[in-house]
Amino acid sequence: MIRLILDTHVLLWVANADARLGRAARRLVDTQVAQGAAGIATVSFWETAMLHRRGRLNLSMAPDAWRRHVLAQGFVEVPLDGAMATLAAELARFHPDPADRLITATAMRLGAVLLTADERILIWTGTVDRLSAEH
């Protein structure tokens, strides 16, 4: 059972041991990975590959090899389904970024906590459980 979904930038922070990831967030990720309960929405792998392709992100390996490397660390890939996709379109008063909508809808459909540092998601008045990755 997936209990935690990482936003794309949080996944990158974890993968790169970035200091912006807070201590409490790091402990939460480590605990959930150890329990097989830390999920990555498939759209995060798409978003990472697109950033790499556009030269805005330098991965140490090809995007699919990087994806496999992340999954080998114990993260669980969460496929997008139709219910998540339609929920993403229906999020009221949510900003228009499609990847953020799909990641948020994934967490909502699973009843998982979304770990993010995106202020737009953190202050959104919707019903997703979320935590700041900077703490």
**pLDDT tens digits, residue range 73-123?**
999 999 999 999 999 999 999 999 999 999 999 999 999 999 999 999 999
What's the pLDDT at 22? 98
Q: How crowded is the C-beta side of 95, counted as CA atoms within 13 Å? A: 11
Measured over the CA atoms of residue 51, residue 54, residue 57 and residue 58, the dihedral's sign is positive
Q: What is the pLDDT of residue 124?
A: 98
Task: Give the model's confidence band at 53: pLDDT under 50 very low, under 70 low, under 90 confident, else very high.
Answer: very high
- The percentage of the chain sitting over the pLDDT mark of 90, rounded to a whole number, equals 100
Q: 90: closest CA among 107, 102, 78? A: 102
pLDDT at 16: 95
Structure confidence at residue 126 (pLDDT) = 96
CATH number where 12 lies: 3.40.50.1010
- Total domains present in the chain: 1
Which residue range(s) make up the domain with 120?
A: 4-132
**Percentage of residues in the chain having pLDDT higher than 70:** 100
Q: What is the pTM of this model?
A: 0.97
What is the CA 54 to chain-centroid distance, rounded?
A: 20
